[in-house]
Amino acid sequence: MEAFPVEHQGQTMICLRDPMAIAPQPILLGMGGYFLLTLFDGQHSLSDLRQAYARQFGEVLAAGKLEELIEALDQAFYLDSENFARRRAAVMEEFKAGSERAAIHAGLCYEGDPRRLREELAAFFDPPHGPGRSPQRRNGRAPAGLIAPHIDPRRGGPAYAHAYFELMGAEPPELFIILGTSHYGAGPELFTATLKNYATPLGALETDRDFVARLARRYSGGDLFADELLHRNEHSIEFQALFLAWALGTRGYKVVPILVSSFHEMIAAGRMPAADPRVGSFIEALRTELAADPRSACIIAGVDFAHVGRKFGDERAADEEFVKWVEQEDHALIETIERGDPEGFFRAIDKDKDRRRICGLSPMYTQLELLRGRSGRLLKYDVAMEPPTQSAVTFASLAIQ
């Protein structure tokens, strides 16, 4: 769940939103309702909740109000209940029935109309911030890997453009492994695949179902399809599919879409991710499949870098001084990518227990292990400031040869 304050009819309220859209509509709660919700942890009885409310607000909760809140939350699918389980099963069944993963964010984060979308994406390539629209000759060599943002394209468009410009004017790879940041994976599975084609308003990218199936059989660290529903609303691969479709069209190559969930338990333990059987076995399985495949391949990581400021839990606002420190730390991290050093990359984040909240740690580390020792080249680095929330997000694009 996401919870954030909003102003509604002159009052500050808390908006609850389910980013996976199993609960299809957001819901507004007053401060009293939100306080009670924070105690819905399976450990408090109704009597406990009423007593806690009285202690917090100095008044007795009106008769029936708690029950009304519970019923409203349950009907809106915000409680872990039988009603929610039925809704989740129905959403999963609907998702599995389709052959394509729909372009969920079309018309929201980017134009949904193909003609207007082409114009919008093309403008991101224009100088002075973009690389231009005319590709240079690259001696037939496309990069072995790309790092591209997953921030809203309208905030990070030029950084996307610099990444995908690297594919234009070169002999395009025949296979793209897309490692997307999974923002909402919460189970034991760290890697999640899908067999579905990725739709865009410019056409659908064909998923290499045979490759994915072979990878799933070889992977011994978990079930690549256990959390497939995560693909339904996740944007980190969708935005890569969008720019691939613009830069290369949708024919002549296939994709392997993999969402990578948080490695924060490794950060907490100070343990190199490759030592975890789930991570190590995935890297080995994918490396083996790529080695056996005669096609040219490119590994894309759809990632952002730092998330700092009050919106993300820092007591300090993302002011000029704070952001300057973030940029210095980011560039030190980028140096580890440029020298193809996954251990150095992880240690650079682990040294302060991911204070900057690198929202791409897992896909980038996985990519670096797969492309170990290859040199990287920074294409563009940028910062998206959010003055209303006193926060900032950083992101970058890199090519790995």
Which domains, from first to last, does the chain contain? 2-94 (no CATH), 101-400 (3.40.830.10)
The overall average pLDDT reported for the chain is 95
pLDDT digits (tens, 9 = 90+) for 339-358: 999 999 999 999 999 999 99
Q: Is the pLDDT of residue 76 over 60?
A: yes
Distance CA 129, CA 27 (A): 39
Residue 296 · residue 375 · CB < 8 Å = no
Residues 6+ away with beta carbon under 8 Å from 259: 180, 181, 182, 185, 191, 192, 193, 227, 230, 231, 234, 236, 237
pLDDT digits (tens, 9 = 90+) for 3-60: 888 888 888 899 999 988 899 999 999 999 999 999 999 999 999 999 999 999 999 9
Confidence of residue 94 (pLDDT cuts 50, 70, 90): very high
DSSP calls for 271-339:
--GGGSHHHHHHHHHHHHHHHH--S-EEEEEE----EEEGGGT-SS---HHHHHHHHHHHHHHHHHHHT
Residues 6+ away with beta carbon under 8 Å from 213: 195
**Helical H segments across 249-276, by residue range:** 264-269
Residue 165 · residue 135 · CB < 8 Å = yes
Distance CA 164, CA 246 (A): 9
Q: Is the pLDDT of residue 101 over 60?
A: yes
Backbone angles phi, psi at 274, to 5 degrees: -60, -20
Backbone angles phi, psi at 16, to 5 degrees: -100, 135
Q: In whole angstroms, how far apart are CA 95 and each of 223, 231, 325?
A: 18, 9, 43
Residue 296 · residue 142 · CB < 8 Å = yes
Residue 176 · residue 253 · CB < 8 Å = yes
Distance CA 170, CA 153 (A): 24
